[in-house]
Chain A
Amino acid sequence: AQSVAQPEDQVNVAEGNPLTVKCTYSVSGNPYLFWYVQYPNRGLQFLLKYITGDNLVKGSYGFEAEFNKSQTSFHLKKPSALVSDSALYFCAVTRSGNTPLVFGKGTRLSVIA
């Protein structure tokens, strides 16, 4: 069975500083990994995904994530945080295209001006 852990319920960072939102996963076989963002009173928006290839994946709004197979992690990063990045971030995993995604519980990012 697949599972995702987001160990931090809340991450606070000052505007302009780098940010990291952590995600670890458990899946049999090769993982398909995703990050989604949710702004208040909105649905989830796709940020980026790792299927295969380069371990560093670049996505929307300047976000990137690094796939680390040995640590079973897929942390989301951004070099310089913006106040507008404040939102709820979800990591998700599946083991192939035929199985539904399993989502983490979410991490609330707060960027302070």
Chain B
Amino acid sequence: NAGVTQTPKFRVLKTGQSMTLLCAQDMNHEYMYWYRQDPGMGLRLIHYSVGEGTTAKGEVPDGYNVSRLKKQNFLLGLESAAPSQTSVYFCASSYFPGTSDRQETQYFGPGTRLLVL
């Protein structure tokens, strides 16, 4: 199993450009999450999904959109990048509660480092 993978690993954008970050998991997890990590801020939840075709806002959703068209993929989009979106982005996934003794445990991808100039 590859676990959780993220594409790309690193990207530089100019202000106003758009891009999509791809997250894929091969563990058949129902739940998927997008976080951003900034120095001194810990991890903050951007959006999450509790199943294929469903998404919900997290703590810091502004400026981002997401889609979960397939169970194994969770896409994070930036329509018009801003320097404030310079960050490291992590995707994670987990089992649906009640289906496993490993429920609630989130499995993380390696991260995407994004620099917006």
User: What is A's interface to B at a CB cutoff of 8 Å?
Assistant: 9, 32, 34, 36, 41-46, 49, 51, 90, 94, 96-98, 100-106
Contact = CB atoms under 8 A, between A and B. Distances in A.
Contact of A98 (B43, B90, B92, B97): B97
Interface residues of B, number: 26
Contact of B90 (A9, A43, A100, A105): A43
Q: Is the interface of A mostly helix, strand, loop or mixed?
A: loop
A46 B106 contact: yes
Interface of B: 4, 33, 35, 40-45, 48, 50, 58, 90, 92, 96-98, 103-111
Contacts of B107: 46
A35 to B, nearest CB: 11
Contacts, number: 54
B60 to A, nearest CB: 12
Given A43-B90, A44-B90, A104-B42, A97 B108 contact: no
A101 B4 contact: no
A65 B95 CA distance: 23
Given A42-B110, A43-B111, A44-B90, A49 B105 contact: yes
Contact of A90 (B43, B109, B111): B43
A43 B97 contact: no
A100 B33 contact: yes
A102 B35 CA distance: 11
B105 A46 contact: yes
B22 to A, nearest CB: 15
Nearest to B40: A105
